[in-house]
C-alpha cells in the first residue's frame, strides 16, 4: 500500500516511515519542516534502502493535499503533522487550533474529496487530564487541562461525528504516552528546532554537553522520590504500533488505543538510568512545579494488545541507550 504520512520528517513520523518501508509499504511524506529537517529523508533512505517521496507543503492547503493523495494513489493516511508543546499552546492558542484542528479538518476534507477513507490519528494521553483512576484506560473521562490537549480532543470529536455520518470510514485514534529513544542505528532521533521541552531530549543534551543542566520541575509530588512519574515508550515500539493499527484499518470502524508500556518511571529513574548508560553525570537543579503538570500517569494498553496484537517490548535502558547513541552520533542534531 502507499501510505501518506503527514509530519513524516518529524521525530515520531520518521520512525513510522522506517517501519512502513521495512514492511514493504510505499511512503509519501507531507511536511513543511517547521519543526524538522530535510536531512531526515536521506537518513530514512539510508536505514531502509528505500527513499520515501517528499511532498513539501502544509496540511492547511486542501488543493495540495488532494493532489498528493491522487497523484500517488494513497490508500491510507497516518496524520502526525501538528504543534505539540503544551506550555507554548497556552500562549499561542490560535496557532495551535489553526494547525492542529483546522489542519486536520483540511486533511479529512481532502481525503473525502479523493475518496481515501483510512485514517490513523496521533492523539495523546493529555486528553485524559487529571487522573480519576490509574492506569488510564480508553474509557477514562476526557478533560484535557491545556490548549494542546483540547486541540487533539477536538479532532477526535470531529472523527467521531464524521464516522457517525459515514460509517465507510476506517479510523484509528492512537493516544501516545511519552515517546522517547531513537532508531537503533543512531541515524534518526529527536531533534526539535529550538529548546526542547521534554525530559529525555534535555537529559541527552546535558549528557552530551550541548546543554548545561536539567531543571527538575518539582520534587515534592506524592510519589516515592517526589518527582513526576510517566509512562515512557520507545519510539520504535510506537512506530510498530502504527503498523499494527494500519493492518487493522482494513475493516471499517472507529477504534481508540492507548500506546504505552503500562509502567511509570520517575524523573530520577530516568536520570540514573541515563547516567549509567552514558557514563556521564547529569547536572541538575530543582525548580518549582511546572504549571499544569500531573504527578503521575500511565497507560492501560490492554486494548492494543488484545485487538492489535501489539505491545511495547523495549525497556527504559534501551530507550536511554538509543537516545544516547543518537546524541553521540549527532552532537548538534541533524544540522551538525
Ligand atoms: P515533531 O514536531 O517532531 O513532528 C511533527 C512534524 O509535523 C514536524 O516535522 C513538522 O515540521 C510537521 N508540521 C507541523 N505543522 C505542519 C503543517 N502545518 N503542515 C505540514 N507539516 C507540519 O513532533 P512528534 O514528536 O514527532 O509528534 C508527532 C505527532 O505526535 C504530533 O501530532 C504530536 O502532537 C503527537 N504526539 C507527540 C508526543 C510526543 O511527546 N512527542 C506525544 C503525544 C502525541
Ligand atoms: N520534567 C522536568 N524537567 C524538564 C522537563 C520535564 O523535570 O525540563 C519532568 C516533568 O515535570 C514530568 C516529566 O519530566 O514529570 C516528563 O515531562 P515531559 O515534558 O517529558 O512529558 P509530559 O509532562 O508532557 O508528560
Q: Whose CA is nearest to atom 1 of ligand 1?
A: 10
Say which ligand is closest to the CA of 219.
2
Q: Which atom of ligand 1 is nearest to the CA of 35?
A: 11
Crossing angle of helices 235-247 and 11-22, rounded to 10°: 50
Mean pLDDT of the chain: 96
pLDDT attached to residue 252: 74
**What average pLDDT score do residues 65-69 get?**
98
Q: Are 317 and 272 in contact (CB under 8 A)?
A: no
Q: Just list the catalytic residues.
A: 148
Q: Whose CA is nearest to atom 32 of ligand 1?
A: 80
pLDDT attached to residue 210: 86
pLDDT band at 78 (very low <50, low <70, confident <90, very high): very high
**Which of 43, 316, 328 has its CA nearest to residue 210?**
328
pLDDT tens readout for residues 98-142: 999 999 999 999 999 999 999 999 999 999 999 999 999 999 999
pLDDT attached to residue 189: 96
Three-state DSSP at 231 gives: coil
- CATH number of the domain located at residue range(s) 2-182+232-263+299-313 in this protein: 3.40.50.720
Classify burial at 240, counting beta carbons within 10 Å of its beta carbon; exposed 0-12, middle 13-18, buried 19 or more.
buried
Say which ligand is closest to the CA of 202.
2
pLDDT tens readout for residues 246-286: 999 987 799 999 999 999 999 999 999 999 999 999 999 99
120 CA to centre of ligand 1 in angstroms: 14
| Cα gap 108→160, rounded to integer Å | 12
Task: Evaluate: CB of 264 within 6 angstroms of ligand 1.
Answer: no
Q: Say which DSSP state 52 is in.
A: P
Amino acid at each position: 500500500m502507499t501510505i501518506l504520512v503527514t509530519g513524516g520528517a518529524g521525530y515520531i513520523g520518521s520512525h513510522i516511515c522506517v517501519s512502513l518501508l521495512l514492511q514493504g509499504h510505499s511512503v509519501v511524506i507531507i511536511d513543511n519542516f517547521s519543526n524538522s529537517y530535510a536531512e531526515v529523508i536521506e537518513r530514512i533512505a539510508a536505514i531502509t534502502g528505500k527513499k520515501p517521496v517528499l511532498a513539501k507543503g502544509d496540511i492547511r492547503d486542501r488543493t495540495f493535499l488532494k493532489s498528493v493523495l491522487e497523484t500517488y494513489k494513497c490508500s491510507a493516511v497516518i496524520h502526525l503533522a501538528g504543534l505539540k508543546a503544551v506550555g507554548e499552546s497556552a500562549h499561542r492558542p490560535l496557532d495551535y487550533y489553526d494547525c492542529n484542528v483546522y489542519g486536520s479538518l483540511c486533511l479529512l476534507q481532502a481525503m473525502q474529496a479523493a475518496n481515501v477513507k483510512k485514517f490513523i490519528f496521533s492523539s495523546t494521553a493529555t486528553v485524559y487530564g487529571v487522573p480519576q483512576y490509574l492506569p488510564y484506560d480508553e474509557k477514562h473521562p476526557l478533560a484535557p487541562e491545556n490548549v494542546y490537549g483540547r486541540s487533539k480532543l477536538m479532532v477526535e470529536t470531529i472523527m467521531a461525528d464524521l464516522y457517525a455520518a459515514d460509517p465507510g470510514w476506517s479510523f484509528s485514534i492512537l493516544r501516545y504516552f511519552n515517546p522517547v529513544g531513537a532508531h537503533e542505528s543512531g541515524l534518526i532521533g529527536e531533534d526539535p528546532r529550538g529548546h526542547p521541552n521534554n525530559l529525555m531530549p534535555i537529559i541527552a543534551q546535558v549528557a552530551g554537553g550541548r546543554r548545561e543542566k536539567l531543571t527538575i520541575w518539582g520534587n515534592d509530588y506524592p510519589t516515592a522520590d517526589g518527582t513526576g512519574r510517566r509512562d515512557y515508550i520507545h519510539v520504535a515500539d510506537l512506530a510498530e504500533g502504527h503498523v499494527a493499527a494500519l493492518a487493522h484499518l482494513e475493516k471499517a470502524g472507529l477504534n481508540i488505543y492507548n500506546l504505552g508500556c503500562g509502567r511509570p518511571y520517575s524523573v530520577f529513574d530516568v536520570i540514573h538510568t541515563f547516567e549509567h548508560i552514558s557514563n556521564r553525570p547529569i547536572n541538575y537543579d530543582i525548580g518549582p512545579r511546572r504549571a499544569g503538570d500531573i504527578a503521575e500517569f500511565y497507560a492501560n494498553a490492554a486494548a492494543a494488545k488484545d485487538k492489535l496484537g501489539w505491545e511495547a517490548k523495549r525497556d527504559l535502558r534501551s530507550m536511554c541507550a538509543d537516545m544516547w547513541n543518537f546524541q553521540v552520533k549527532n552532537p548538534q542534531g541533524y544540522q551538525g
